[in-house]
A = this chain, B = another copy of it.
Amino acid sequence: MPRPPTFTARAPGDNRPRLIAIDWGTTSLRGVLIDAQGHIAQQRALPQGILQVEPGGFAAAFDRHFGDWLALQPDMCLLSGMVGSRQGWQEAAYCPCPAGFGALCNQLLWLEGAHGIPTAIVPGMSVVPQASVDAAHGVPDVMRGEEIQVMGALHLMGQDSGLLVLPGTHSKWVQAQGRSITGFKTFMTGELFAVLAQHSILGKTLDSSAPLDETAFAQGLERARSSDALSHLLFGTRALSLFGALSPAQSASYLSGLLIGQEMATMQPAAGTRVALIGSAALVQRYTLALRHAGCEAVAFGDEATWAGHQAIYQYLTGTSS
């Protein structure tokens, strides 16, 4: 494994790009080219997730999709997301929580980069129970890609601490303190919604393409405060449909409210908490409503959190200011 490179100060007037920042997930590949002034010069998004790459083909795929950027000789390439998983380019060991921003930078996995450009994978993070990782004593948790978004959002907010929520297929609730990630929890919310809508009996009376019905969504949130098992609350969605009390559009929003409401019931953010939301506009809308329902305030970020996180690493490694 290559050792971390040393970065020397740039010559004045050096106009090469600073950085190629890549988020390479399971189903998508996104990247930005950061110019000499620290701005996004170009961006690219492709439906070429790691599942689309044959084993051993990552270097070639990277070169194919970003060879023109590499030819501009940036200082480095940073890759985050599932590209560091067992199914990715190379497995990057998780940073166990609590882990600070410096630890993350020091545990970058440096690769044999293309075109002689230093290239590293950002490691994911894990929560590992103190006792031992087994089904009897302690259940671990993991993330890959979200750690950089969290660091980026903290940077953008000018904060070192806070509660951050990253809704998605597998939603993450992350606690940060002193520029460290001190703990997090994952919820399979987006995936549960999708498999239930597509493959369960709920799908028969549910229109998952309908726009959000805020009333039905709030009713789902409210219902999720019940201590009853989700499997019972889900059947209730079906029963309400059978009785004509939820239309297919309302059912979709109600189900969404149930699932997001169960996250809220687990995490119980204190009223008045200012929560950073990082995700797509549609999900940010829903979680903003859910947080408001619990008396919290939401501040939203999209892709910019990812790129700010990559830039923060660049600055850490090169001593450049932003």
Contacts and interface: CB of A to CB of B under 8 A. Distances in A.
Interface of A: 133-136, 139-142, 170-171, 185-189, 191-192, 195-196, 198-201, 216, 219-220, 222-223, 227-232, 234-236, 238-240, 242-243, 245-246, 250, 254, 259, 262-263, 265-266
Contacts of A198: 199
Given A136-B219, A188-B234, 13 more contacts: A133-B240, A135-B223, A135-B250, A136-B222, A140-B245, A142-B239, A142-B242, A171-B231, A188-B201, A188-B232, A228-B266, A229-B262, A232-B263
A140 B240 CA distance: 6
Nearest to A141: B239
Given A231-B192, A231-B259, A254-B135, A140 B243 contact: yes
27 contacts: A133-B245, A134-B240, A134-B245, A135-B240, A135-B246, A139-B239, A139-B240, A140-B240, A141-B235, A186-B235, A186-B239, A187-B229, A188-B231, A188-B238, A189-B231, A191-B201, A192-B200, A195-B196, A195-B199, A195-B200, A227-B227, A228-B266, A229-B230, A229-B263, A230-B230, A230-B262, A231-B259
A218 B135 CA distance: 10
A24 B185 CA distance: 44
Given A134-B245, A262-B230, A235 B188 contact: yes
A231 B263 contact: yes
A191 B189 CA distance: 17
Contacts of A231: 171, 187-189, 192, 230, 259, 262-263
A236 B236 CA distance: 25
A265 B229 CA distance: 8
For the complex of A and B, the 6 pairs showing the least CB-CB separation, nearest first, are A229-B262, A139-B236, A135-B219, A187-B231, A230-B230, A186-B235
B133 A229 contact: no
B133 A243 contact: yes
Contact of A191 (B170, B185, B200): B200
